[in-house]
């Protein structure tokens, strides 16, 4: 591990000032991803700015009837918070399907959004990886690519975004509130993470001098009709091969509103709002769900070891929608 200095930020302005004066500095929150990356020599910050003492550790109601999740609230506190359990159970389920209780006790909401891909080659500094060092090549393209993307990939990177929490946040249309040298701004969740394109080393649209303050949930929580389905190699303590967050608003047997977000298939939580439109105003029915699954996966491209994900994702979408519509027991 490289030598680094350490400082504790005492207020948000101080944290922003520290990060914006040193391009090689990084914030540390729970440390569950960053420390691993430092031990593997993938991340090499020369200064760690500990943000754990900033006043970003509360969950509060917002004036518009939504809920503000502080960036430093842990994943455990978020998942078991009474307002989250009652009004956003999709989010609780997604968080609790991830990692382990010990990790969730340390992991923070802000850190969860910025966790890096689990592509094996990204962690292996002996292999080329455009995400680790731009321009070196992508070892996964011709390598073992079983866990990689089938949607939205580029010839520079086929990694997937690893978070479960973010898949639910995409479906709920959360907003990420951040601040930096130019002041505060709000980023719709769909615009927070990026597709790889020619710059796969840049995961998100957060600027280098910015800190995440909170994740704001809109009032609509889809508490009555939701499902988070995570398909993985082991029943616990494993990242998703494919995951689906499904949220429906039902009016009798008719679908009034629908949201679907997929994990494990792309470089960011994947939504296809055109496909979601196919559900609106329709009765909940298996053939309708299958049509939506086909539409979402229509442009999917498999690689040597991961083509199975395309059919898997279609089936997971149908099953998650059935669970959400309560046509099938969870």
Give the binding site for ligand SF4 (CB under 6 A): 117, 119, 121-122, 129-131, 138-140, 148, 157-159, 200
The residue among 112 and 306 lying less far from ligand FAD, judged by its C-beta, is 112
Order of all β-strands in the sheet with 242-251: 226-231, 242-251, 254-263
Beta bridge partners of 179: 184, 211
Query: Rounded CA gap, 311 and 235, in Å?
Result: 20
The residue among 26 and 117 lying less far from ligand SF4, judged by its C-beta, is 117
Q: What is the DSSP letter of 134?
A: T
**C-alpha to C-alpha distances, 285 to 210, 251, 259, 270, 325, nearest whole angstrom:** 45, 14, 16, 23, 9
265 binds ligand FAD (CB under 6 A): no
**C-alpha to C-alpha distances, 299 to 49, 140, 296, nearest whole angstrom:** 42, 20, 8
The residue among 106 and 291 lying less far from ligand FAD, judged by its C-beta, is 106
261 binds ligand FAD (CB under 6 A): no
Residue 317 falls in which region: left (phi positive, over 0), alpha (psi -120 to 50) or beta:
alpha
192 binds ligand FAD (CB under 6 A): no
- Residue 325 touches which of ligand FAD, ligand SF4, none (CB < 5 to 8 A by kind)? none
122 binds ligand FAD (CB under 6 A): no
Least separation in angstroms between CB 130 and ligand SF4: 4
Query: Rounded CA gap, 17 and 19, in Å?
Result: 6
The residue among 193 and 322 lying less far from ligand SF4, judged by its C-beta, is 193
The residue among 75 and 145 lying less far from ligand SF4, judged by its C-beta, is 145
- Residue 139 touches which of ligand FAD, ligand SF4, none (CB < 5 to 8 A by kind)? ligand SF4
32 binds ligand FAD (CB under 6 A): yes
Beta bridge partners of 260: 246
The stretches of 21-60 forming alpha helices (DSSP H) are 34-39
108 binds ligand FAD (CB under 6 A): yes
Q: Which residues 203-242 are close enough to bind ligand FAD by CB under 6 A?
A: 211-212, 239
CB-CB contact of 179 with 213 (8 Å): yes
Provide the binding-site residues for ligand FAD, judged by CB under 6 A: 26-34, 36, 51, 71, 98-99, 103, 106-108, 110-112, 114-115, 162-165, 211-212, 239
């Amino acid at each position: 591990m490289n030598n680094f200095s350490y400082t504790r930020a005492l207020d948000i302005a101080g944290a922003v000032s520290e990060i914006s004066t040193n391009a090689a500095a990084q914030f540390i929150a729970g440390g569950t991803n960053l420390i691993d990356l430092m031990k593997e020599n993938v991340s090499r910050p020369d200064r760690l700015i500990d943000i754990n003492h900033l006043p970003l550790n509360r969950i509060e109601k917002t004036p518009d009837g939504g809920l503000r999740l502080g960036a430093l609230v842990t994943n455990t506190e978020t998942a078991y918070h009474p307002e989250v359990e009652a009004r956003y159970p999709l989010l609780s389920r997604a968080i609790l399907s991830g990692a382990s209780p010990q990790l969730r006790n340390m992991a923070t909401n802000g850190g969860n959004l910025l966790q890096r891909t689990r592509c094996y080659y990204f962690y292996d500094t002996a292999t080329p990886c455009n995400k680790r060092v731009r321009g070196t090549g992508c070892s996964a393209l011709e390598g073992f690519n079983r866990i990689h993307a089938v949607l939205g990939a580029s010839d520079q990177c086929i990694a997937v975004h690893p978070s479960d929490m973010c898949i639910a946040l995409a479906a709920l249309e959360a907003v990420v509130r951040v601040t930096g040298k130019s002041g505060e701004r709000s980023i719709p969740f769909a615009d927070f993470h990026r597709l790889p394109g020619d710059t796969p080393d840049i995961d998100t649209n957060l600027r280098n001098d910015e800190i995440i303050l909170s994740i704001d949930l809109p009032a609509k929580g889809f508490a009555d009709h939701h499902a988070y389905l995570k398909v993985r190699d082991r029943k616990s303590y494993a990242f998703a091969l494919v995951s689906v967050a499904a949220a429906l608003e039902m009016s009798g047997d008719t679908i009034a509103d629908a949201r679907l977000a997929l994990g494990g298939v792309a470089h960011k939580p994947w939504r296809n709002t055109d496909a979601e439109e196919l559900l609106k105003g329709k009765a909940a029915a298996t053939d309708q769900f299958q049509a939506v699954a086909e539409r979402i996966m229509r442009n999917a491209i498999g690689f040597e070891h991961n083509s199975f994900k395309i059919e898997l994702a279609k089936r997971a979408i149908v099953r998650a929608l059935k669970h959400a519509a309560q046509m099938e027991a969870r």
